[in-house]
Protein backbone atom coordinates (compact mmCIF):
# COMPACT_ATOMS: atom_id res chain seq x y z
CA UNK A 1 0.00 0.00 0.00
CA UNK A 2 1.41 3.39 -0.92
CA UNK A 3 1.37 6.47 1.26
CA UNK A 4 1.18 9.93 -0.29
CA UNK A 5 2.16 13.29 1.21
CA UNK A 6 1.45 16.76 -0.19
CA UNK A 7 2.41 20.29 0.82
CA UNK A 8 1.43 21.07 4.40
CA UNK A 9 -1.13 23.66 5.55
CA UNK A 10 1.42 26.29 6.74
CA UNK A 11 3.01 26.28 3.27
CA UNK A 12 -0.43 26.79 1.71
CA UNK A 13 -1.14 29.70 4.05
CA UNK A 14 2.22 31.40 3.44
CA UNK A 15 2.43 30.89 -0.32
CA UNK A 16 -1.28 31.54 -0.72
CA UNK A 17 -0.95 34.86 1.11
CA UNK A 18 2.14 35.88 -0.85
CA UNK A 19 0.72 34.88 -4.22
CA UNK A 20 -2.50 36.76 -3.50
CA UNK A 21 -0.67 39.97 -2.59
CA UNK A 22 -1.00 41.42 -6.14
CA UNK A 23 -4.79 41.35 -5.67
CA UNK A 24 -4.36 44.16 -3.09
CA UNK A 25 -3.02 46.33 -5.88
CA UNK A 26 -5.92 45.41 -8.14
CA UNK A 27 -8.46 46.17 -5.41
CA UNK A 28 -6.60 49.34 -4.37
CA UNK A 29 -6.71 50.67 -7.92
CA UNK A 30 -10.31 49.59 -8.50
CA UNK A 31 -11.59 53.07 -7.65
CA UNK A 32 -9.50 54.51 -10.48
CA UNK A 33 -10.43 51.71 -12.86
CA UNK A 34 -9.11 48.21 -13.23
CA UNK A 35 -5.92 48.02 -15.24
CA UNK A 36 -5.53 44.96 -17.42
CA UNK A 37 -1.83 44.54 -16.56
CA UNK A 38 -2.53 44.60 -12.81
CA UNK A 39 -5.27 42.02 -13.27
CA UNK A 40 -3.07 39.81 -15.43
CA UNK A 41 -0.16 39.95 -12.96
CA UNK A 42 -2.51 39.04 -10.08
CA UNK A 43 -3.95 36.08 -11.99
CA UNK A 44 -0.50 34.79 -13.04
CA UNK A 45 1.00 35.19 -9.54
CA UNK A 46 -1.90 33.40 -7.86
CA UNK A 47 -1.97 30.65 -10.49
CA UNK A 48 1.78 30.10 -10.28
CA UNK A 49 1.79 29.94 -6.45
CA UNK A 50 -1.06 27.44 -6.36
CA UNK A 51 0.40 25.31 -9.20
CA UNK A 52 3.76 25.24 -7.41
CA UNK A 53 2.19 23.97 -4.19
CA UNK A 54 -0.11 21.44 -5.88
CA UNK A 55 2.85 19.91 -7.70
CA UNK A 56 4.69 18.87 -4.50
CA UNK A 57 4.17 15.22 -3.71
CA UNK A 58 6.04 12.44 -1.91
CA UNK A 59 4.78 8.92 -2.54
CA UNK A 60 6.13 5.95 -0.59
CA UNK A 61 5.19 2.70 -2.34
CA UNK A 62 6.12 -0.82 -1.24
CA UNK A 63 9.14 -0.77 -3.58
CA UNK A 64 10.16 2.84 -4.28
CA UNK A 65 10.19 6.46 -3.15
CA UNK A 66 8.72 8.99 -5.59
CA UNK A 67 9.09 12.77 -5.40
CA UNK A 68 7.37 15.22 -7.68
CA UNK A 69 7.64 18.99 -8.00
CA UNK A 70 6.89 21.66 -10.57
CA UNK A 71 10.45 22.40 -11.67
CA UNK A 72 12.17 19.04 -11.14
CA UNK A 73 9.36 16.87 -12.42
CA UNK A 74 8.86 13.31 -11.20
CA UNK A 75 11.85 11.40 -9.84
CA UNK A 76 11.90 8.04 -8.15
CA UNK A 77 14.38 5.70 -6.51
CA UNK A 78 13.93 2.04 -5.65
CA UNK A 79 14.61 0.96 -2.08
CA UNK A 80 17.52 -1.30 -3.05
CA UNK A 81 19.23 1.71 -4.72
CA UNK A 82 19.14 3.91 -1.58
CA UNK A 83 22.43 4.37 0.23
CA UNK A 84 21.43 7.08 2.72
CA UNK A 85 18.59 9.47 3.52
CA UNK A 86 19.56 12.64 5.33
CA UNK A 87 17.93 15.85 6.43
CA UNK A 88 20.16 18.82 5.65
CA UNK A 89 20.09 22.54 6.39
CA UNK A 90 22.12 24.69 4.03
CA UNK A 91 21.96 28.41 3.25
CA UNK A 92 25.06 28.46 1.05
CA UNK A 93 23.32 27.60 -2.20
CA UNK A 94 20.83 30.33 -3.06
CA UNK A 95 18.98 28.37 -5.75
CA UNK A 96 18.21 25.35 -3.53
CA UNK A 97 15.80 25.28 -0.61
CA UNK A 98 17.47 25.67 2.79
CA UNK A 99 15.98 22.49 4.30
CA UNK A 100 16.22 19.38 2.15
CA UNK A 101 15.69 15.66 2.42
CA UNK A 102 18.52 14.19 0.39
CA UNK A 103 18.29 10.59 -0.80
CA UNK A 104 21.72 9.39 -1.87
CA UNK A 105 21.95 6.47 -4.32
CA UNK A 106 24.37 3.59 -3.87
CA UNK A 107 27.71 3.67 -5.65
CA UNK A 108 27.62 2.39 -9.19
CA UNK A 109 24.13 3.76 -9.87
CA UNK A 110 24.01 6.30 -12.68
CA UNK A 111 21.58 8.60 -10.96
CA UNK A 112 22.00 11.84 -9.08
CA UNK A 113 20.89 12.23 -5.50
CA UNK A 114 17.22 12.97 -5.00
CA UNK A 115 16.82 16.35 -3.23
CA UNK A 116 13.38 16.91 -1.72
CA UNK A 117 12.30 20.41 -0.67
CA UNK A 118 11.49 19.63 2.96
CA UNK A 119 10.19 23.04 4.00
CA UNK A 120 6.80 22.57 2.32
CA UNK A 121 6.07 19.13 3.82
CA UNK A 122 4.75 18.26 7.25
CA UNK A 123 6.88 16.77 9.98
CA UNK A 124 4.98 13.50 9.46
CA UNK A 125 6.11 13.35 5.82
CA UNK A 126 9.73 14.14 6.72
CA UNK A 127 9.71 11.50 9.46
CA UNK A 128 8.20 8.95 7.08
CA UNK A 129 11.02 9.45 4.56
CA UNK A 130 13.69 9.35 7.29
CA UNK A 131 12.13 6.22 8.79
CA UNK A 132 12.08 4.65 5.34
CA UNK A 133 15.78 5.45 4.99
CA UNK A 134 16.51 3.87 8.37
CA UNK A 135 14.55 0.75 7.36
CA UNK A 136 16.13 0.16 3.95
CA UNK A 137 19.58 1.76 4.29
CA UNK A 138 20.90 4.50 6.54
CA UNK A 139 19.28 7.70 7.84
CA UNK A 140 20.70 10.87 9.38
CA UNK A 141 18.49 13.70 10.60
CA UNK A 142 21.44 15.80 11.86
CA UNK A 143 19.30 16.76 14.85
CA UNK A 144 16.85 18.65 12.63
CA UNK A 145 13.71 16.55 13.19
CA UNK A 146 12.59 19.03 15.82
CA UNK A 147 13.47 22.02 13.67
CA UNK A 148 16.42 24.33 13.19
CA UNK A 149 15.66 26.44 16.29
CA UNK A 150 15.86 23.51 18.72
CA UNK A 151 19.00 22.20 17.00
CA UNK A 152 20.63 25.61 17.33
CA UNK A 153 19.71 25.81 21.03
CA UNK A 154 21.07 22.29 21.67
CA UNK A 155 24.31 23.08 19.84
CA UNK A 156 24.69 26.32 21.78
CA UNK A 157 24.12 24.54 25.09
CA UNK A 158 26.74 21.90 24.20
CA UNK A 159 29.29 24.60 23.36
CA UNK A 160 28.70 26.31 26.72
CA UNK A 161 29.20 23.02 28.59
CA UNK A 162 32.62 22.49 26.98
Range of the domain at 35: 3-54
Q: What is the pTM of this model?
A: 0.75
Query: How many domains does the chain contain in total?
Result: 2
Report the pLDDT value the prediction gives residue 21, as an integer from 0 to 100. 87
| 46 within some domain | yes
Examine the domain organization and report whether 48 and 79 are in the same domain.
Answer: no
| 68 within some domain | no
| 101 within some domain | yes
**Reduced to 3 states, what is the DSSP secondary structure of residue 75?**
strand
Task: Give the whole-angstrom CA distance, residue 114 versus residue 4.
Answer: 17
Encode pLDDT of 94-140 as tens digits. 566 678 888 999 887 677 888 898 889 998 999 999 999 989 888 88
| 128 within some domain | yes
Amino acid sequence: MSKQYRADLPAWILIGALSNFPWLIVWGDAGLGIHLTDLLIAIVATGFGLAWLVSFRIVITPTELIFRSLFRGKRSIKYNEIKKVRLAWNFRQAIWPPMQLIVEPREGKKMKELAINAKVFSRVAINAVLDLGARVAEADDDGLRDGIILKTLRDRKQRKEM
